[in-house]
Structure 1
Amino acid sequence: MEQAQIDATLAEARAHADAGNAEAALKAAGRAHHAALERGSVAAQAEARHCIASIELRLLGNFAAALESARQAAFQFQQAEMPEGECRALATQAMAAARLGYYETSVDCALLAVKLCAGTSSDGASVEQVVAHHALGVAMFIGRSYAEASEASQRAIELAYQCDPPVDTYVLHADLGSTEVMRTLSARSAITAGTTSLELLREHLRRCDELLRDAAPLASIGIGSRSSSALTHAFNKAMLLIWQADLAGAAAQVCRLREAVESSRRPWLQALVLWAGSELALAEGDLPLARNHAKEMIRIALAQNHEGLVSIGLGQLAYLASTAGDHAAAAQALRELAEREQLARSASLRGRVADVERQLELRSRTRQLHASEAGRAHFQQLALEDGLTGLPNRRHFELQLQGLLEEVRTQGSTACLVMIDVDKFKQINDGHSHNAGDAVLQAIAAQIRRCVRDKDFPARLAGDEFVIILRDTGAQAAQALTERIADAVSRHAWSGIAAGLSVSVSLGLAEVLPTDTLRTVLSRSDQGMYANKRDKARAG
């Protein structure tokens, strides 16, 4: 398939997505990606992969798949030296991470997108800038930093009107309406301090209705974005009617929302219908029905892996139980919600903004020093450090591993990969607090640093998982290193973090083969790590 045909197939996929036809859109994007692979075009692969990520995110609700596809697209856009594409992929990655509850990852990706796209348009605002600020607003919203979410979304709207042609702001106003809905609920439940008003919600609903009637041609903010936001708008309208005590109008709007969600075939949006139904039942004085709707909302959100809606459902359930005088149930819901941890996370997010700013400033100076080196990727070393442990993060690790795989294939280099997982880490968090869990991860990172050589590359992969690239190392030497790390961790004075605390790790080792890809070598080391866990379980 020629490049022009790939472009046409992607245009077909976007048209299907904009019409809400997820299955046809995904098939067309898949054909384009297959053709791009056969053609060997990294740029076309990136565009097709990002199209797939957008469909998974906005139309299918497969947030984990969307996150992985967007991550791959961002890497390929970087390889192809396409900063505008990388910005779009990072924004999609941020939004998928937000839906999964990966708040810090979401904000990191959104901030990278904001900073990256700032230099992509030399003449006025760009669609990429709008997309990046929108993603930042969504990330802050999911993290319950509503003031910051509103600020980022308002900035996206300002940029949208500066674009030529102007960008469709329907999605932005719909999301800002959702922010006002959450601000109202938070004030009611005393989750956040301050007062609220329905005026801003009315204003965003009015702007959405105007944009629906306006036939002027506008640039799209993203694949399939309007069809998803139409349901958000319908939900926001139902909530306003409820809070205005127009219960008959609200009941009719909830019915319309239910019908629209059923026809959309997006199961996670059923949680929105139940959320609105819970509010309506509360307004009608039917607390048992309101609580049942909230419980069902939580169940659906959990099944769809939508952590943001799970948290909202728990907050709703706690408020309803308290209103009903069922204080034990309210306390249980609040415990699950972990209010203190959510507030701490919001504060952590604001701190990470400053950290990313410093990293970007440093990397900007580095790029200026190397500006004369033609052909270098223009955003190398962009936010490549894990904020908690100080180790390189997953993005940095994958860049290093890609280079190593090429060396092993072309130069016959010897290398090994070690996967490390903290045993029973959830029990550490649950039994000793998340602060203790963070301290454990920092201590393990320090032990790993002490055990490895200068030429080795340790990194924090995700959560309680670490990984080490061992260059010029065979299996026997690598095995000796894994034993040193396991021994160092077991002998560490963990009682200094929490009384009675004991920590161990499981390790998996894989030699890097000339035929390996990033996925295959990671899979083998991961299997080795789980085998180590099973062996310890049988022995213990």
Structure 2
Amino acid sequence: MTRHIILGDSDDTPDGALAAAYAALDQGQVHEAYDLAAAALSAANGDNLRLEARALACLAHCDRIHSRLRRASGTSRRAAQLFEQLGDAQGEANALTTLAHVCMLLGRNDEAVEAALLSVQLCKTKQPQPPAVLALNSLGLAYSWGGDHKRGDAALELAVETARRCEPAVSVFQPRINQVWVEASRLIDERFHTGAMRSLARLASLVAECRELERAGIGFALLPGLQAFRAVISPASCALLATWQGDAGLAQTEFEAARRALGTTVTWLDAFVRWCAAEMAWARQDWAATQLELERMRDLALSVEHEQLACRAHLLLIQVFELQGRHEDALRENRILRQREQRVVADSLSHREALVSWRLGARQSERHLQQALVASRQFERWSLEDALTGIANRRHLEQVLDEELRLHASAGQPLAVALLDIDQFKSINDRFTHEVGDRVLKTVAGIMSSQLRKRDLPARWAGDEFVIVFANATAGSAAQVCERVRSAITSFDWESIAAGLRVSVSIGLAEAMSGDTNASLLHRSDTSMYRVKPRSGT
């Protein structure tokens, strides 16, 4: 019923380095996983953009687990940009989900919400997929850390519904445990503003459901490497609830379980456990211990770049000082909090400026690409177009005739080809100048094109010779069009070009036969044309 959302494929490298990296994460070997992903990035060597993007996504996930959040932010953004360039919406969505999560922890709430919303949109499909669950999960947390707990809970509830609609269904544990976090955050804010937590019923219900999922063996995270987090978050959340419910014995038991589950590397989970210790001391009104644990929580959060938890520690310290009547200390802590928030905003603005610069560069690159495509299409058109008359040239004619002969041979589709020659064209050049001769060629091409069907191809063959390819037409139907062309050319007001100018044409026609080639079909058209030339008065 459960599965990971893998950000790379086992065949990304010959030795499956990225798949091995994710397997290492599940075994708690973050450093080994990072080295494997770095090797995959090196193998990409700037030539394999898809592998580079997937390797960067894996590195960002490793850094997120290892609480190297600023590096994870830059790496996940680069991965998202590469996936966008490749047109890989799923890869881009996964990278944006990582970006949203780390930006949220760094306190860049606007950027986190923006990245999460974009990821949600990219994940929209008729049949929900697991990446949509992660995208909604990140969006819910981003809303909550931004102070909108109601909207955060709604996004996480939608993540739960989406998880259940996936085929096969995936575990709802990750969005549910995050709803526990959102509700706990809401209660903290409520206590700060009103002095009390009105009801613990919602939190108790969510914690009970998460514990039931664990007992049923489906308490799994959706991404590799996060199972160790569950082993800390679950008992720590239970310790908070038990503390606020007044059950000190259960709170201590759960706290000890969470503390034992901590790894040897310091992460934000260490700060979370210190918060639990602070709440337990708060419940005993042991203000010295509460202050000490909150200061530890703040320092640990800052050491792992978790600005949100650091700010929460400041906020809790303010309330602790006020409860003791230490108003000067509360004001001092409030000033420190405001300074930290200002630094977070400045850091966020700096990253937004960098993002805008990148987007401007991307737009410029896109404009250059579009200009190159336009130029390429123009060059292609020129390579298939006669420079003087603007109709198809010999190269284009041969390509079309090849295809039509193939259809004639395979499907029995009729095909006729006419060869048109301007009568006494050399004398026109000699008598009226080559400039007039060029105007005659252009005018004949224009008249000829105007009399044809859309499916027919007029082309300049050489000098004063033109060819018409009549697709899906018999010689009989093509002959009627040829007569219309000949008559239109003869009746044209050639005096408007040069006084005394007269122009006529001779047209030969042949229908394709079995075994015909371009050369044989055109040869029969040419022979037919010369048979009618004497009757044209030349």
TM over 0.5: yes
1:63 aligns with 2:69: yes
Among candidates 80, 83, 88, match of residue 77 of structure 1: 83
1:249 alignment counterpart: 250
Distance 1:255 1:398 in 2: 52
Amino acid in the other structure paired with 2:136: H
Q: In the alignment, is residue 99 of structure 1 matched against residue 105 of structure 2? A: yes
CA distance in 1: counterparts of 2:313 and 2:37, whole angstroms? 34
Q: Is the 8 A contact 1:51 1:223 kept in 2?
A: no
How far has the Cα of 1:15 moved from its partner? 1.5
The alpha carbon displacement at 1:213 in A equals 2.8
Asked if structure 2 preserves the Cα contact closer than 8 Å seen for 1:137 and 1:150, the reply is yes
Please report how far the alpha carbon of residue 239 of structure 1 lies from its aligned counterpart in structure 2 after TM superposition: 0.3
* Residue 394 (structure 1) shift: 3.9
CA drift of 1:49 comes to: 1.1
1:86 aligned onto 2:89: no
The one-letter code sitting in structure 2 at the alignment partner of 1:89 is A
1:96-495 superposed matches below 5 A:
96-118=102-124, 121-122=125-126, 124-190=127-193, 196-215=198-217, 221-261=222-262, 263-338=263-338, 393-400=356-363
Do the aligned residues in 1 keep the contact of 2:275 with 2:297 (CA within 8 Å)? yes
> Contact 1:231/1:260 (CA < 8 Å) preserved in 2?
yes
Q: Once the 2 structures are TM-superposed, how far is the Cα of residue 229 of structure 1 from its aligned partner? A: 3.3
Match of 2:60 in 1: 53
Q: d(CA) in 2 for partners of 1:9 and 1:388?
A: 33
More moved, 97-106 vs 325-334 = 325-334
Q: Identity rate of aligned residues, in percent?
A: 26
Amino acid across the alignment from 2:258: L
Residues 239, 295 of structure 1: alpha-carbon distance in 2 compared, 3 angstrom cutoff: same
1:176-220 CA-to-partner distances (Å, cap 9, x unmatched) read 1111111111111117x99642222222222222222334698x6
Instruction: Check whether the contact 1:171–1:226 (CA below 8 A) recurs between aligned residues.
Output: no
Q: What whole-Å deviation, never above 9, does each CA across 1:66-103 have from its counterpart, x for those lacking one?
A: 11110011011112211011011111101111111111
Q: Contact conserved, 2:314 with 2:333, CA < 8 A, in 1?
A: yes
The question of whether the paired residues in 2 share the 8 Å contact of 1:91 and 1:132 is answered with yes
One-letter amino acid of the counterpart of residue 31, structure 2: E
1: CA distance, partners of 2:351 / 2:52: 31
Q: 1:242–1:280: 8 Å Cα contact kept in structure 2?
A: yes
Task: Verify the 8 A CA contact 2:229 2:269 in the aligned structure 1.
Answer: no
1:266 aligned counterpart, secondary structure: coil
Paired positions, count? 358
Structure 2 counterpart of 1:60, one-letter code? H
Q: Counterparts of 1:328 and 1:256 in 2: how far apart (Å)? A: 37
Secondary structure of 2:16's partner?
A: helix
Distance 1:200 1:19 in 2: 34
Structure-1 separation of matches of 2:50 and 2:308: 33
Partner deviation per Cα, 1:337-363 (whole Å, 9 max, x = no partner): 349x89xx9xxx9xxxxxxxxxxxxxx
- Which residue is 2:23 aligned to? 15
| SS, match of residue 393 in structure 1 | helix
Cα distance in 2 for partners of 1:323, 1:6 equals 62
Is 86-95 or 9-18 further displaced after alignment?
9-18
Q: For the Cα contact (< 8 Å) 1:6–1:35, is it kept in 2?
A: no
Displacement of 1:393 after TM fit? 2.0
Mark the runs of 5 or more structure 2 residues left unpaired by the alignment: 1-8, 371-538
C-alpha spacing 1:267/1:130, structure 2 compared with 1 (3 Å): closer
Tell me how far apart the structure 2 counterparts of residues 324 and 217 of structure 1 sit (CA, whole Å): 41
Aligned equivalents of 1:196, 1:7: Cα separation in 2: 56
CA deviation after TM superposition for structure 1 residue 386, in Å: 12
Contact 1:17–1:224, Cα closer than 8 Å, also in 2: yes
Per-residue deviation, 1:151: 0.9
Q: Matches of 2:196 and 2:321 in 1, distance apart?
A: 23
AA in 2 matched with 1:181: A
Q: Any conservation in 1 of the 2:213–2:219 contact (CA below 8 Å)?
A: no
Partner Cα distance (2:139, 2:313) in 1: 23
TM-score normalised per structure 2 = 0.61
- How far, CA to CA, are the matches of 1:152 and 1:229 in structure 2? 21
Counterpart of 2:201 in structure 1: which amino acid?
E
The answer (yes or no) to whether the contact 2:192–2:319 under 8 Å persists in 1 is: yes
Distance 1:4 1:324, change over 3 A: closer
Matched residues in 2 for 1:302 and 1:160: separation? 33
Could you tell me which residue of structure 1 aligns to residue 399 of structure 2? none
Shift in alpha-carbon separation, 1:281–1:48, aligned structure 2, 3 A: same
Q: How far 1:112 sits from its partner (Å)?
A: 1.1
> In 1, Cα distance between the equivalents of 2:43 and 2:352?
41
Conserved? CA contact 1:171–1:225, under 8 Å: no
Which structure's CA Rg is the greater one? 2
CA–CA separation in structure 1 for the residues paired with 2:123 and 2:196: 34
Shift of 1:303: 2.3
Q: Is the 8 A contact 2:231 2:261 kept in 1?
A: no
Secondary structure in structure 1 of the residue aligned to 2:246: coil
Given that 1:317 and 1:333 are in contact with CA atoms closer than 8 Å, whether structure 2 keeps it comes out as: yes
CA distance in 2: counterparts of 1:11 and 1:210, whole angstroms = 31
Aligned partner letter, 1:133: L
SS in 1 for 2:84: helix
Cα distance change on mapping 1:404 and 1:231 into 2, 3 Å? farther
Q: Is the 8 A contact 2:266 2:304 kept in 1?
A: no
| Cα deviation, residue 401, structure 1 | 6.3
Q: Structure 1: which amino acid aligns with 2:303?
A: A
Corresponding residue for residue 458 of structure 1:
none
Whole-angstrom distance in 2 between the partners of 1:319 and 1:221 = 36
| Aligned positions of 1:490-501 closer than 5 A | none
In the aligned structure 2, how far is the partner of 1:207 from the partner of 1:403? 49
Does 2:51 align with 1:44? Answer: yes
The offset of 1:4, in angstroms, is 5.6
Of the three residues 39, 43, 55, the one matched with 1:35 is 43
| Separation of aligned partners in 2, 1:273 and 1:387 | 30
Task: Tell me, in whole angstroms, the C-alpha distance in 1 between the residues paired with 2:12 and 2:55.
Answer: 13
Q: Distance in 2 between matches of 1:142 and 1:117?
A: 23
Deviations 1:93-152 (A, max 9, x none): 01111111111111111111112222xx23x11112111111111211221211111111
Asked whether the equivalents of residues 50 and 70 of structure 1 are also in contact (C-alpha less than 8 Å), the reply is: yes
What is the RMSD computed on CA atoms of the aligned residues? 3.3
For the 8 Å contact 2:10–2:16, the answer to whether it is kept is: no
Q: Are the structure 2 counterparts of residues 6 and 62 from structure 1 closer, same or farther at C-alpha, using a change threshold of 3 Å?
A: farther
Deviations 1:272-327 (A, max 9, x none): 12111111111112111101111121122222221100111011101111111111
Aligned CA distance change for structure 1 residues 401 and 17 (closer, same or farther; 3 Å): farther
Contact 1:140 1:146 in 2 (8 A): yes
Residues in 1 aligned to 2:287 and 2:320: alpha-carbon distance in whole angstroms = 7
Judge which range, 84-93 or 267-276, deviates more: 267-276
The one-letter code sitting in structure 2 at the alignment partner of 1:328 is: E
